[in-house]
Amino acid sequence: MEEDPVMQPGHDDNDVGLAQILTEVVEEVRLSIDRDINGADLLYSLLSAPWLYSLLRVYECLVQHSQDAPSPYLSYSLRLSQEIMASVPGLAAPSFEAQELYILLKCPHMQALLSAHDSVAQRDYGPVLLPLPDKLPDNEEAMRIVCLVKNKQPLGATIRKNEKTGNIFIARVIHGGLADRSGLLHPGDKLVEVNGQKVRGLQPEHIIQRLVQSQGNILFKVIPNTPQPTNSQPALHVRAMVDYSPLQDPTIPCPDAGMAFSKGDLLKIVDQTDIRWWQARKLHSASLCCGLIPSTNQFKCKQRELWWSQPYQAHTCIRPLSATDVGEEEISDENKCIETDGDFEFEEGENGEYMQGLYIAGFRHSLRVWRRKSNSKRKPSCYSCGVSSCHNTSATLYEEVVHYQRHIDDPPRLIVLIGPSGVGVNELRRRLIKINPNTYQGPISHTTRSQKMGEKNGREYYFVTKEVFAYMVVNHKFLEYGEHNGHMYGTSLDSVQDVLDNGKICVIDLEPHCIHSVRSKKLKPYIIYVRPPSPARMKQTRKDPHFLSNRYIKRYFSDKDFEEIEEASRTMEAKYRQYFDCVIVNDDLQDSCMDLFTAIQHAQEEPQWIPASWLSSLTDLCHTNSLLGRCTSVRIKPRIRPLDDSAKTLLISHHQLLRHDSSQTRMGRKQTS
């Protein structure tokens, strides 16, 4: 028969004493039951039994001991290792593994590691959550108790009050925020309590105030919304086409939850569940937390939401109004080009030779006058009128974009240089082509002026009649066209195509209001903006250059010119920067040339974000997505411009216009206007 373990010899006196008491207890209870006495006697005899007092004393000792004793984890591994090391040498024939374990445990660094482990294990690093309330409501199945630890970030959710019932609901949970990452709070959940206090009937502002004041843990009691709304839309990448500041937008339900963005910013829209307010984050931004942005269906939202854990304050327009735009329509007759009666000539090379293929049609010269004279006639831009005015139906908020890597067999992307007159666009283009004429080329322009001695049709220009020119205008043959000294000049799509067909990279400079004419699937333009340095730097770097690169006129830059270039640059950027793929500051000429080379290489060889409408076939999409290893949904927006009856009528009126109208002063008027 096996011995009762508690009675085994070798245990200390305390153990024997306790074992003895327990044995007596068992015996006493058995006798009490056998005696068949009534309950009161049994209870009395049990409560007055001496062993019960002994047991209680033992219990007290144990409680005291457990309070004084270190945590069971304390030095646990170290103690275990020491026990092992003490027992192994006593073994008669220790196995190989036992010997190896002994050697390992004996190493000082192993001892140090075990000691470190024990120190860490006895500490409680996690947040100490409040105990759950004792009284759970009857319908506890429908209630969820959520404990979040407040840190410096906002909780990432908005609340809304139902004015009829007085109930408070979670309006939305912001992707990537604290509430979202907890996975415990969802839009539509009814908020019942915050830190033990009922919220029904309270104003949302008061709840926010309470949340702002609370520290550490925040205990929410919510009735979960079922079923949860699902965001079925895949993520969408867009380029912002306007500036947006939630603090200036009176229609946003919760300005604190909004995300400001600027023209040209790349955004990833991750949630379109709400048709009015989408959730997005900026690409290349360190923050993973999304913000609210107006959807393209945005309309006035009357219900206000409040942002958790942010102090509520009434928002006023605090962003200063910035740059104004020049209205293109304001160009008047007095802005006519008056600088020179000379015409554009061959561009003379530095060694006196004429460089074929490097002729610059010189569109930009008349615009220099336009720039100077138009500064005084400003009208406020959409941007400076305030954000809400940007949200009219005609404004496009976003342009869908996809990541595109040019395939080796695709034609090179068209390189477009844009910048204020005088900044050095022609200089950079000229140098680029001169240094590497086998790779880069400019298109040959059309003109209505007569051919001069030494000129060859199709080399310097295509010399055409006014009728042919008008015909080309009406048939949308030109990417850009305009008038100079009574003659028309234009850059046609076909001449750009000729350059591409020759296997060269076509580089053109363009007036920014003509950007739309080149933004097509076919050309996939890469637009480089040439920005001036500060007027002070311009003054330093442009000591010698004359203002006009015309051979008849030499006028040097004045201080006023530099200021005007800077002003024109600000205006241009404010209006068109959403179209710029790259910005080069033309400070030191050598550096700028290098930057231009690098940018063009980048455009042709690296993946770029381009409008989704430029990839219009499934093949294009598969190609792009396979490169990226993921799929993007694309809405196809083909550009179709058939020559219909109205276009024919326009053609006739254009003919008449060109014959009789001497008031045509501005170059590059949009052909479609």
Ligand X SMILES: Nc1ncnc2c1ncn2[C@@H]1O[C@H](COP(=O)(O)OP(=O)(O)OP(=O)(O)O)[C@@H](O)[C@H]1O
Looking at residue 147, the DSSP 8-state letter turns out to be: E
Q: Does 553 bind ligand X (CB under 6 A)?
A: no
- Calculate ∠ Cα 673-386-575, nearest 5°: 40
Nearer to ligand X, 427 or 455 (CB): 427
638 closest CA partner among 623, 619, 616, 658 = 616
Q: Does 426 bind ligand X (CB under 6 A)?
A: yes
The two structure tokens encoding residue 665 = 């002063």
Distance of CA 524 to the CA centre of its chain: 23
Q: In sequence order, which residues have a C-beta less than 8 Å from that of residue 232 and are 6 or more positions away?
A: none
Smallest distance from ligand X to CB 283, Å: 31
For residue 663, report the phi and psi dihedrals to the nearest 5 degrees. Answer: -90, 5
Nearer to ligand X, 172 or 368 (CB): 368
Relative to beta strand 440-441, strand 505-509 is parallel
Q: Does 381 bind ligand X (CB under 6 A)?
A: no
Q: Does 525 bind ligand X (CB under 6 A)?
A: no
Nearer to ligand X, 99 or 598 (CB): 598
Among 161, 364, 477, 484, binds ligand X (CB under 6 A): 364
**What gap in Å lies between CA 466 and CA 649, rounded to an integer?**
17
Smallest distance from ligand X to CB 513, Å: 15
Nearer to ligand X, 190 or 542 (CB): 542
Asked if residues 357 and 441 have their Cβ atoms less than 8 Å apart, the reply is yes
Among 79, 546, 554, 637, binds ligand X (CB under 6 A): 546
**What gap in Å lies between CA 546 and CA 524, rounded to an integer?**
34
Q: Is 531 exposed, middle or buried (0-12, 13-18, 19+ CB in 10 A)?
A: buried
Q: Does 545 bind ligand X (CB under 6 A)?
A: yes
Q: Does 549 bind ligand X (CB under 6 A)?
A: yes
**What gap in Å lies between CA 652 and CA 400, rounded to an integer?**
38
Size of the site for ligand X (CB under 6 A): 19
Q: Does 280 bind ligand X (CB under 6 A)?
A: no
The two structure tokens encoding residue 125 = 């690093």
Helices (H), strands (E): how many in the chain? 18, 22
Smallest distance from ligand X to CB 577, Å: 17
Nearer to ligand X, 345 or 427 (CB): 427
Q: Does 425 bind ligand X (CB under 6 A)?
A: yes
Q: Does 422 bind ligand X (CB under 6 A)?
A: yes
Q: Does 427 bind ligand X (CB under 6 A)?
A: yes
Looking at residue 515, the DSSP 8-state letter turns out to be: H
Smallest distance from ligand X to CB 417, Å: 9
- Calculate ∠ Cα 636-639-643, nearest 5°: 150
Q: Does 541 bind ligand X (CB under 6 A)?
A: yes
Q: Does 567 bind ligand X (CB under 6 A)?
A: no
Among 424, 443, 490, 512, binds ligand X (CB under 6 A): 424
Smallest distance from ligand X to CB 531, Å: 11
Q: Does 512 bind ligand X (CB under 6 A)?
A: no
Among 253, 419, 443, 668, binds ligand X (CB under 6 A): 419
22 closest CA partner among 70, 55, 46 = 55
Q: Does 484 bind ligand X (CB under 6 A)?
A: no
**What gap in Å lies between CA 77 and CA 269, rounded to an integer?**
51
**What gap in Å lies between CA 367 and CA 512, rounded to an integer?**
11
Nearer to ligand X, 370 or 526 (CB): 370
**What gap in Å lies between CA 236 and CA 222, rounded to an integer?**
32
Among 592, 608, 665, 671, binds ligand X (CB under 6 A): 592
Selected range binding ligand X among 10-18, 397-405, 542-550, 633-641, rule: CB under 6 A: 542-550
**What gap in Å lies between CA 570 and CA 324, rounded to an integer?**
8
Among 309, 586, 608, 624, binds ligand X (CB under 6 A): 586
Nearer to ligand X, 372 or 655 (CB): 372
Q: Does 515 bind ligand X (CB under 6 A)?
A: no
List residues binding ligand X (CB under 6 A): 364-365, 368, 419, 421-427, 541-542, 545-546, 549, 586, 589, 592
